[in-house]
């Protein structure tokens, strides 16, 4: 359901806040739309390319990365470790360092064949034993990895030097997709046992040569990378700046060549021939998460009250400082086969929100709320808008606690220390069986809200087991109904990820939830 809601003059304070945000962001209005990526010329071997991002890497330990989600951590880890397999934009698992990843009995057992001749950069073999070591480490409860539930859902045995046999007690037809999202990064067991995660040892296209936590990382071409002729680049650098407008201006001034973001970030350069855009086809929703295991949001009434108090269109406009944005409250957009307009959250209703708050307060529930945004401008704007919106509800107080983006996952997921937090960027929905599992299953890798429901888990199991589109659609419908009924998270927008880059950069291959393959990036003639 897209919410075409006009901007209201509620006390003028919220409207004034949004107007200020838009003015500060330098909104320029429409235009003919951005040019797509070029890169049709021949690939040039060599060169140095710098990618801008919001923050650095808190740890190079692959247990603490998260799927194929682009952004602060995963991009670097893919460059250093490579991928056993990945998910393409059609939702298919593609072997990379694996030669094949197959099942012949509906997911009860799987056979994984590793490519011959791959070595880690410390000279040790990238083989079946190394893969098993990494997966066993992820399954160990002592490590409290986010992907522990997945790693514990199957057992692996080394059949020979380059072959693993996986057994799933409950047949899992999408185990390959789940591993491609959560367990695809394989590090040298020798390096992991040494315990020095400041010096990551993988078999990926690049090698870390220098790191400055305040500045970024320098990576050099791995001359022994298994794909012949790749990577194209000699040097790949990542530089960290929290403010997206500063990242954009760094590229515009020639200080870097590439960043990911959204069209609203790049309005000023839509018609500039020096730059181009690569848009990832599979988009995702914007949302904020409630801590479902901590009062007041362990009570569904509180989650519904906050969702009803916030205007999704106003919130996405405040976040992006763009008055042309439309709010959206569904998990899928209207171009998806899973979209149903009736399965979106209800429109803003302050009267109903106040009724629910009054009930909660009468029951002794404390409605003092702590909102924890990562300290980047758009999320701070969103948090301030939420604070202003919720102050309209009698009995509710809101405190904002900003944290550095590199510390956000530790604070919100590992420590569960928040009442409400905004998910940075969009939550990409490709492929649905794994992304919906990650965010809504009990213990899911992206379940920051800590929601737990036997009914939802059963619907997700049905989704993963579905063998045709009709079955998947039926299961996704059940997932969406739970989302609307229980409001474990609140969705307020939908967008596609966009890479803004200098026009002579090519080789964009999107994977999974919007990351790109670093070994394919190159300059064009």
Which CATH number do you get for residue 230?
Answer: 3.40.190.10
pLDDT tens across the length of the chain (525 residues)? 333 322 233 333 444 444 444 444 433 333 333 445 545 678 999 999 999 998 888 889 998 765 555 666 788 999 999 999 999 988 899 999 999 999 989 899 999 999 999 999 999 999 999 999 999 999 999 998 888 989 999 999 999 999 999 999 999 999 999 999 889 999 999 999 998 888 999 999 999 999 998 899 999 999 999 999 999 999 999 999 888 889 999 999 999 999 998 888 898 999 999 999 999 887 899 999 999 999 999 999 999 999 999 999 999 999 998 898 999 999 999 989 999 999 999 999 999 999 999 999 999 999 999 999 999 889 999 999 999 999 999 999 999 999 988 788 889 988 899 999 999 889 989 889 989 999 999 988 889 999 999 999 999 999 999 988 999 999 999 999 999 999 999 999 999 889 999 999 999 998 888 889 999 999 998
Same domain, 469 and 397: yes
* Cα gap 218→220, rounded to integer Å: 7
Concatenate the DSSP letters of all residues of 211-260 into one string.
EETTTEEEEEE-TT-SSTT----SEEEEEE-S-HHHHHHHHHTTS-SEEE
User: Is the distance from CB of 521 to CB of 278 less than 8 angstroms?
Assistant: no
**Would you state the pLDDT for residue 35?**
46
Same domain, 13 and 95: no
Same domain, 393 and 295: yes
Residues 6+ apart with CB under 8 A from 400: 370, 371, 372, 373, 380, 383, 384, 387
Choose among 97, 90, 93, 58: nearest CA to 74: 58
Total of domains in the chain: 3
Same domain, 454 and 521: no
What's the token pair of residue 414? 């590992």
Let me know if residue 20 belongs to a domain.
yes
Let me know if residue 323 belongs to a domain.
yes
Let me know if residue 191 belongs to a domain.
no
Same domain, 258 and 374: no
Let me know if residue 51 belongs to a domain.
yes
Residues 6+ apart with CB under 8 A from 226: 97, 115, 117, 118, 203
Same domain, 300 and 273: no
Domain boundary pick from 147, 182, 217: 182
> Which domain range does residue 96 map to?
91-182
Same domain, 16 and 58: no
Q: What is the pLDDT of residues 186-199, one digit of tens each?
A: 999 999 999 888 89
| Residues paired with residue 83 on neighbouring β-strands, in sequence order | none
Let me know if residue 187 belongs to a domain.
no
Same domain, 212 and 360: no
**Would you state the pLDDT for residue 66?**
58
* Cα gap 182→111, rounded to integer Å: 18
Q: What is the pLDDT of residues 44-54, one digit of tens each?
A: 999 999 999 98
* Cα gap 161→130, rounded to integer Å: 10
DSSP 432: H
Let me know if residue 235 belongs to a domain.
yes
Same domain, 251 and 133: no
**Would you state the pLDDT for residue 110?**
98
CATH code for the domain of 312? 3.10.105.10
Distance of CA 444 to the CA centre of its chain: 13
Same domain, 354 and 410: yes
Let me know if residue 116 belongs to a domain.
yes
Residues 6+ apart with CB under 8 A from 276: 34, 35, 36, 37, 38, 39, 501, 502, 503, 505
Residue in the structure block whose two tokens are 């009570």: 299
**Would you state the pLDDT for residue 405?**
82
Same domain, 154 and 55: no
Let me know if residue 190 belongs to a domain.
no
Same domain, 264 and 412: no
């Amino acid at each position: 359901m897209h919410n075409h809601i006009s901007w209201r003059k509620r006390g003028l304070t919220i409207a004034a806040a949004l107007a200020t945000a838009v003015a500060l962001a330098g909104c320029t209005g429409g235009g003919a739309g951005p040019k797509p990526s070029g890169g049709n010329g021949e690939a040039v071997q060599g060169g140095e390319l710098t990618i801008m991002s919001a923050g650095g890497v808190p740890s190079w330990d692959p247990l603490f990365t998260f799927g194929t989600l682009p952004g602060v951590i995963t991009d670097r880890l893919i460059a250093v470790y490579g991928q056993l397999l990945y998910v393409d934009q059609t939702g298919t698992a593609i072997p990379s360092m694996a030669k094949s990843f197959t099942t012949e009995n509906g997911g009860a057992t799987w056979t994984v064949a590793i490519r011959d001749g791959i070595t880690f950069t410390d000279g040790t073999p990238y083989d079946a034993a190394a893969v098993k070591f990494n997966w066993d480490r992820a399954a160990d409860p002592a490590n409290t990895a986010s992907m522990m539930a997945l790693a514990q859902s199957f057992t692996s045995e080394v059949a020979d030097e380059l072959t693993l046999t996986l057994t799933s007690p409950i047949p899992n037809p999408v185990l390959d997709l789940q591993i491609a999202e959560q367990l695809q990064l394989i590090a040298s067991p020798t390096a992991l046992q040494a315990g020095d995660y400041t010096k990551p040892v993988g078999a990926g296209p690049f090698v870390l040569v220098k790191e400055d936590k305040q500045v970024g990382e320098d990576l050099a071409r791995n001359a022994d990378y298994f794909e012949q002729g790749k990577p194209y680049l000699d040097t790949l650098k990542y530089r960290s700046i929290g403010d997206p407008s500063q990242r954009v201006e760094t590229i515009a001034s020639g200080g870097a060549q590439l960043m990911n973001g959204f069209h609203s970030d790049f309005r000023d350069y839509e018609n500039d021939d020096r730059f181009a855009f690569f848009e990832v086809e599979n988009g995702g929703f914007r949302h904020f998460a409630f801590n479902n295991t901590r009062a007041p949001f362990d009570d569904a009434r509180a989650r519904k009250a906050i969702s009803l108090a916030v205007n999704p269109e106003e919130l996405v406009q405040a976040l992006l400082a763009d008055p042309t944005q439309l709010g959206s409250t569904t998990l899928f957009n209207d171009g998806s086969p899973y979209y149903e307009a009736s399965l979106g959250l209800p429109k803003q209703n302050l009267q109903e929100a106040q009724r629910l708050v009054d009930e909660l307060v009468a029951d002794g529930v404390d409605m003092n709320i702590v909102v924890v945004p990562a300290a980047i401008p758009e999320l701070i704007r969103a948090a301030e808008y939420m604070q202003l919106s919720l102050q309209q509800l009698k009995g509710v107080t809101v405190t904002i606690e900003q944290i550095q983006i590199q510390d956000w996952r530790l604070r919100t997921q590992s420590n569960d220390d928040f009442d409400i937090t905004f998910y940075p960027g969009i939550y990409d929905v490709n492929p649905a069986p794994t992304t919906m599992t990650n965010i809504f299953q009990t213990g899911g890798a992206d379940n920051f809200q800590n929601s737990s429901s036997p009914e939802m888990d059963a619907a997700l199991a049905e989704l993963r087991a579905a063998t045709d589109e009709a079955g998947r659609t039926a299961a996704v419908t059940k997932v969406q109904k739970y989302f609307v009924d229980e409001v474990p998270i609140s969705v307020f927008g939908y967008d596609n990820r966009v890479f803004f880059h200098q026009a002579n950069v090519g080789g964009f291959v999107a994977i999974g939830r919007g990351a790109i393959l670093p070994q394919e990036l190159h300059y064009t003639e």
